[in-house]
Amino acid sequence: MSAQIIDGKARAKEIKEEVKAEVEQLKEKGVVPGLSVILVGNDPASQSYVKMKAKDCQEVGMNSEVIRMEESTSQEELLAEVERLNQDPNVHGILVQLPIPDHIDEKVIINAIAPSKDVDGFHPINVGKMMIGEEDAYLPCTPRGVVDLIKLTGTDLKGKHAVVVGRSNIVGKPASMLLLKEHATVTVCHSKTTNLKEITKQADILVAAVGRAHMITEDFVSPGTVVIDVGTNRIESGKLVGDVDYEKVSQIASHITPVPGGVGPMTRAMLLMNTLDAAKTIHGIK
Ligand code: L34
C-alpha cells in the first residue's frame, strides 16, 4: 500500500487563482494590494524564498518589493525601515524574512511591525488573537497551509488525534492552536519528549516540524495516518528534503505531503491571502 500524495503545489495554484480574481476586483475599487519583504543578509535559502514570494505577488497582480539590507545592518536601521513601511499607505503587508542576523533582536523587530500589516501573523497581538480565536487575526502562513492541506484529504479533524512534532513559534505552537480550533485532540512533542515514537504512533494526523532531515522514519508512523511534512532541509547533495523519510513513510501513511511541492508552496499561497485581507481591511472593504 502506498500513500496518496497531497499536492500542495496544485492546491497553492488554486488559491492563487482565487486571490488573483479578488485582486482584480480590488483594483476596480482603486486598491492594489502591496507586500514589502525585508531581507537582511545573504542567506541563500532566504534569498530564494523571498524571490519566490515576490514572483507570487506579481503573478496575482499585487505590488511587491524586496528591500535588501546588509548583513551588518544595525537594529536601529532595521527598525527605521519597518517604521517607514508601517507609515506607507501603499504597503499593506510587511514581512521580515527570518532568520535575521544574531546581533539584531528578533522580538524587537517583530514587535515593531504594525499588527494590521503583520501578514506573517508573528506579532504578539495576532498571536494572542489566534489563541482566543478572534476572527480578525492574521494567522501564520505555514500553519494555515498545514490545516488547509489536511482538509484537502477529506479528513474531518473533529475528535481526531493530531500530533505535532516541534514547538517553534513559527510552526509548531501555532499549528497546534489551529488544529485545536478544528476540534482535534492535540499533542505537542519536541526534542525533550520521551517515548516520541509511542506518541507519534497514536496519531491520526502527524505534523512534522522539527527541522531535521528524515527524522521521522517508518517506525514513528502507524498505518492510515495523514502525514504533513513541514521540513525544508537542504542536504549535502543540495537536494531539498523534509523531516519525514518519504520513501519509507509513504508505504504506511494514508496521505503524505512531498518535499518539495507540499507545505512550502502553501506557505506562500497563504501569504497572498493574508496580504489580500490586509489590503481589504486597511481600506475598509469587506
Ligand atoms: N518571516 N520568515 C518569515 N516568514 C516565513 O513564512 C518564513 N518561512 C520560513 C523561513 N523564514 C520565514 C518561509 O517562508 C520557511 N519558508 C518557506 C517558504 C516557502 C518555501 C519553503 C519555505 C517553498 O516554497 N518551498 C518550495 C520550494 C523550495 C525550493 O525549491 O527551494 C517547496 O516546494 O517546498
Instruction: List, as one string, the DSSP characters of 159-203.
Output: T-EEEEE---TTTHHHHHHHHHHTT-EEEEE-TT-TTHHHHHTT-
pTM reported for the whole predicted model: 0.98
- From the list 16, 56, 117, 120, the catalytic residue is 120
Q: Domains along the chain?
A: 30-114 (3.40.50.10860), 141-264 (3.40.50.720)
Q: What is the pLDDT of residues 76-111, one digit of tens each?
A: 999 999 999 999 999 999 999 999 999 999 999 999
Q: What is the pLDDT of residue 1?
A: 67
Q: Which three cell numbers stand for residue 34?
A: 502591496
Closest CA to 59 of 114, 2, 20: 20
Ligand 1 center–CA 102 separation, angstroms: 20
Q: What is the pLDDT of residue 43?
A: 95
User: Does 120 qualify as catalytic in the annotation?
Assistant: yes
Q: What is the pLDDT of residues 8-54, one digit of tens each?
A: 999 999 999 999 999 999 999 999 999 999 999 999 999 999 999 99
Residue 146's SS3 state is helix
Closest CA to 226 of 132, 125, 153, 127: 153
> Is the per-residue pLDDT at 123 higher than 70?
yes
Give the whole-angstrom CA distance, residue 172 versus residue 137.
18
In 10 A of CB 177, how many CB atoms?
Answer: 20
Atom in ligand 1 nearest the alpha carbon of residue 271: 6
Q: What is the pLDDT of residue 84?
A: 98
Q: What is the pLDDT of residues 131-146, one digit of tens each?
A: 999 999 999 999 999 9
pLDDT band at 286 (very low <50, low <70, confident <90, very high): confident
Mean pLDDT of the chain: 97
User: Does 53 qualify as catalytic in the annotation?
Assistant: yes
Q: What is the pLDDT of residues 199-234, one digit of tens each?
A: 999 999 999 999 999 999 999 999 999 999 999 999
Q: Ligand 1 pocket, 265 CB below 6 A?
A: yes
Q: What is the DSSP letter of 148?
A: H
Which run of H or E residues covers position 26?
A: helix 8-28
